[in-house]
Structure 1
Amino acid sequence: MIDRTKVWAGTLNEVALGGRAKRSVGFYDTTLRDGEQAVGAAFDPAQKLEIAKLVDGLGVGRIEAGFPRVSEEDREAIRAITQAGLKAEIWGFSRALVDDVEAVVDLGLRFCVIEAPISDPKLAALGVTREQVLGRIEKAVAFAVRNDVRVAFFGVDSTRADLGFFERVYRAALDVGAAEIAIVDTLGIATPEAVTFLIGRTREWVGDGVPIHFHGHNDFGLATASAIAAVYAGASWIHGTVDGIGERGGNANLPEIALALELLYGVETGLRLDRARKASERLREIGRYQLEPWKPVTGENLFVRETGAVAAQFHIPEAIEPYAASLLDTPRGIVLGKKSGAASITLKCEELGLPARPEKVATLLAAVKSLALEKRGLVTDEEFAAIVHRHG
């Protein structure tokens, strides 16, 4: 539960959202499957188990353990994850092919996403007709259901599908036993308004009894906004990954979506924001990738200040930050550089236990700025300590 006294977003959102029904939503993590599609990412079974445990610790409701038909390594990872006693439901992934589903059944998985392309560009690229893909979907879903697997049908590129065929495909999957459906913005092309339209329209004809998932990508930087739109249009589950890791522009970023939903919309997600930064740090070590230092939730500079004017307000966090650093279990800090001011010097001296005589602050600031310009970078704590001792 978020401590609302540590959220300093003002009242505008409450006014604008007044009258909207309170929502809750579940998170479906696909870091191990869709996230691994990021260029250069390759997780071994031990790493996949570790990542699954990290994700489970974040409090997501469902974890997609992988695609069994990919390799024996993937099957080994799935076996380990299903035996790890995690709290989340463990889901498999399959194409709409009976052989794929058999691999899921053989591993004892009780939940599975079954995917098939449903847009004309995707069908043309694969040389498959609409009728052929419909037949595959019906056979694969029916086979899974006969083997006591709960199915969520996943229409690849569904945001570019012909609307009539979109409805026909999803109805066909439901008719043969799919219990849930996933609407998929494979190339991240849907605006939040389009997501609202498509999920809202689908909710009208499936009714309230069928959970709708939304799976979004971030090619246009809209994944978080689209996920929020999906929640308010009636989606029960939001797919995504830690850090938004994935191919091209990445997947929807679950911690980022949780931050916005929890702090700005008051929507409960169950995600442990206080664990998100550590999970991200470890995933980056395993996946060997970096993030922008200004990235929401996980950016290293979120609560670090260099600018002197802002440092002068550092003692009043709500004046310079939208929420408390403690919500993410991370410290605040001052760094010194070209943009520092007198308050920066005083605060850094206090932090390091160094003498900060008022008459010396201007001299120390000038020395800091000079070194920062010379370095074209920040002044380290060690360098600043030397400056203080030098200027006595």
Structure 2
Amino acid sequence: MEGKPQVEIYDTTLRDGAQMEGVNFSLQDKLRITEKLDEMGFHYIEGGWPGANPKDVAFFREVRKLPLKHAKICAFGSTRRADSAVEEDRNIRLLLESEAPVVTIFGKSWTLHVTEALKTTLDENLRMIEDSVSYLRKQGREVIYDAEHFFDGYKADPEYALKTLQVAWEAGARILVLCDTNGGTLPHEVEEVMKVVRERLGKGVPLGIHAHNDSGVAVANSIAAVRMGAVQVQGTVNGYGERCGNANLCTVIPNLWFKMGVASIPEDRIRKLFELSHFVSEIANLRHDDYQPYVGRSAFTHKGGVHASAILRHPATYEHVPPEAVGNQRRILVSDQSGKSNIVYRAKEMGVDLDPKDPRVDALVQKIKEAENFGYQFEGADASFEILLRETLGEKVKFFDLESFRVIVEKRKEENTVTEATVKIRVDEDVVHTVAEGDGPVHALDNALRKALERLYPALKRIRLSDYKVRVLSEKEGTAAKIRVLIQSTDGERVWGTVGVSTNIIEASWEALADSVRYGLWRKLRREK
């Protein structure tokens, strides 16, 4: 990073990110994320608000036991209450008792909040800022001052907003962070306001940015602030945060490095951003956003045939950075928009070298277009595609043939519903006829198929369904609508997807289920060879 401008990364996933709807980190979750952020080389990690809840109190106690190598832990809180002595303020006392080496204190910049929320005078608010920052500094803490609602406050009363910054700086704050708390400021406004702040306070006063995403520009605002001289960016992993979220550090960090030549975390850690993003979403128990820039699964995914063909010749034609630079990977999809290049690329990933001039490639492209026209989708059904590919090339991925199946669902008054499936399949010359019950039609079919096959194929015991999704394709048809079923399966080592389509949900489910079992058995047999 020598020679590059440097920006500090301040993470508030554990505090601001935890305020997002649907997020509830446990103490262990917060400690695990802290270790991961430190491993990534983040400069500051905001642990929470001491005293806000027992969990945050416990966090500051337990985090002291972690052997952190890079990050400083920050305790977050407000200035002292109006008309009270700072030495007697409970919030200030708890911040000190947290023993965090850094305290991030927020104060009011907007006259509306001073008079209506705090119910105090403008002068008293300035004293609250000065007393709090000064006292914390005298207690040996590094103080980061978050100017809450700064941009809204500046628009309402520029002189007063600037005065709050001046007071915080003179009281001993190490850095002044301008907060777009309501998320309503646009990038050009950030640049205009920061220019005035820089002129008024002088270039020697370090500034930071804390942006919310209510206008969809939190990342853009953070970049604009850095352009105007900000040396710290506050944000969260995956942009988690209250309402519409905060600036997404998984986007900010690579934008700074690749687009602006500005360093933040070590270069080798940038290649772990994909891992970090997915780690935090897993800990938060939230589905990862596939369409997230840089770290989303679809960020380097190509579907159109023209795109795929160009990518194979030169990746820069449709990729702004190499996917490996952030730990992601390129994906070429197979769909009704695919050309030969998509098929050849996907086949190569599966260990099959195809000549684009091979007539079987044309046949496969045609089969895929016809299948997707009917309602199939292979983007989430890699196993169904591979079965289609290999069978088109003459390879057998069969193992069994269906003779018939029947499903009976019986409901009697207030008793539990009983579901029973009967399956008749042919394995070579043998016909196997089994019956099994289950928690619903698909579960019963799965149990009956396993009962028929496990004696012949013991490997089936390791294969299980891990996800089941249903999509109605023609809603206007009502109960006669065409249904697409996607099944995800695993053998404990790998996960694969299969698809089935029919106007009958049970038939569509059977098709996806049968493909799942065939693929799992074929994969096991292939590994043994």
Task: Give me the TM-score of the superposition, normalised by structure 1.
Answer: 0.89
| CA distances 1:152-196 after superposition (whole Å, capped 9, x unpaired) | 222210111121111221222233332321111101222222222
1:11 paired residue number: none
Matching residue within 277, 281, 294 for 1:280: 277
Matching residue within 33, 40, 46 for 1:64: 46
Partner AA of 1:79 in structure 2: R
Identity %, equivalent residues: 28
State the secondary structure of the residue aligned to 2:257.
helix
Matching residue within 141, 145, 149 for 2:137: 145
2:229 paired residue number: 234
Distance of 2:172 and 2:389 partners within structure 1: 73
Distance of 1:60 and 1:29 partners within structure 2: 7
1:294 paired residue number: 291
Distance of 1:385 and 1:208 partners within structure 2: 60
Does 2:152 match 1:160?
yes
1:118 paired residue number: 109
1:342 paired residue number: 340
State the secondary structure of the residue aligned to 2:290.
coil
Does 2:91 match 1:90?
no
Shift of 1:259: 1.4
Assess if the C-alpha contact under 8 Å between 2:378 and 2:384 holds in 1.
Answer: no
State the secondary structure of the residue aligned to 1:109.
coil
Shift of 1:96: 0.6
Partner AA of 2:361 in structure 1: V
2:382 paired residue number: 381
| CA distances 1:307-336 after superposition (whole Å, capped 9, x unpaired) | 211221232212221111110122222221
Distance of 1:355 and 1:234 partners within structure 2: 52
Assess if the C-alpha contact under 8 Å between 1:354 and 1:385 holds in 2.
Answer: no
State the secondary structure of the residue aligned to 1:102.
helix
1:52 paired residue number: 34
Matching residue within 12, 21, 25 for 1:30: 12
Shift of 1:350: 2.2
1:308 paired residue number: 305
Partner AA of 1:236 in structure 2: V
Closer/same/farther in 2, CA of residues 351 and 110 from structure 1, 3 Å limit: closer
Partner AA of 2:246 in structure 1: N
Partner AA of 2:383 in structure 1: E
1:179 paired residue number: 174
Q: Give the strand-richer structure, 1 or 2.
A: 2
State the secondary structure of the residue aligned to 1:153.
strand
Distance of 2:122 and 2:209 partners within structure 1: 23
Tell me the C-alpha RMSD between the 2 structures: 2.1
State the secondary structure of the residue aligned to 2:104.
strand
Closer/same/farther in 2, CA of residues 200 and 82 from structure 1, 3 Å limit: farther
State the secondary structure of the residue aligned to 1:285.
helix
State the secondary structure of the residue aligned to 1:313.
helix
Of structures 1 and 2, the one scoring higher in RCO (CA 8 A, sep 6+) is 1
| Pairs within 5 Å for 1:92-107 | 92-97=75-80, 98-107=89-98
| CA distances 1:208-241 after superposition (whole Å, capped 9, x unpaired) | 4332111111111211221112112121111111
Distance of 2:372 and 2:63 partners within structure 1: 49
1:322 paired residue number: 320
Distance of 1:176 and 1:67 partners within structure 2: 22
Closer/same/farther in 2, CA of residues 150 and 339 from structure 1, 3 Å limit: same
Shift of 1:291: 4.4
Assess if the C-alpha contact under 8 Å between 2:295 and 2:328 holds in 1.
Answer: no
Shift of 1:130: 2.0
Deviates more, 1:211-220 or 1:119-128: 119-128
Distance of 2:372 and 2:39 partners within structure 1: 41
Closer/same/farther in 2, CA of residues 343 and 33 from structure 1, 3 Å limit: same
Partner AA of 2:46 in structure 1: E
Partner AA of 1:104 in structure 2: L
Closer/same/farther in 2, CA of residues 57 and 355 from structure 1, 3 Å limit: closer
Assess if the C-alpha contact under 8 Å between 1:255 and 1:273 holds in 2.
Answer: no
Distance of 1:383 and 1:350 partners within structure 2: 16
Distance of 1:296 and 1:198 partners within structure 2: 28
Give the aligned length: 374
Distance of 1:283 and 1:203 partners within structure 2: 35
Distance of 1:223 and 1:51 partners within structure 2: 22
1:370 paired residue number: 370
Higher radius of gyration, 1 or 2: 2
2:459 paired residue number: none
